[in-house]
Structure 1
């Protein structure tokens, strides 16, 4: 699902690229990181990364970060994404996080409506500085 993403184009490498294995191992070794795969009838139908981040703001509170949310294209609109996000929010509550945050590409207006429907509010302007290809 990640490789099928077209925003931005050519962002991902072929699935057997060794950088993915190295990233998976680093994420797997970090207790504050989770890679989530949603399964339905033996098929992976959704993915996301959930990170727990310590911070100094809000009196040293932790925050949850949701990234790389993907749902199989043929199953969109069936509330699988909603179930995944609500599950992630519950995980953040269980870890006593002060807030849950996420980013979404500016062009993904349908995703923005989806997140707003779940109670997320657009509160900041995000910026990125790419350091290498």
Structure 2
């Protein structure tokens, strides 16, 4: 792989991981994979997220074309969010990661506990 191609590959990975690597985007995508959802319903389901952080997360996901925002013709107007086709395809990849995490988390916790129990090495 040439240096230029390696940089392009690295840049694409970093760009996408910046979005899905934040604390809330994956949780929003996982929830919206179940179907369209209004803002307050998302906020109730995703515990500990602030109103401001949910707004920022949804805005960034919409900017990246992963989430669509639709203003409903109600009184008062309400907003509903849903995954776009691109967002649904990302959910497919994320669901594999989520399955891997659920499968391996007990072993990882055991490894961490064993590592943390070791005597510190004097320097």
TM-score (ref. length: structure 2): 0.30
Structure with the largest fraction of strand: 1
TM-score (ref. length: structure 1): 0.28
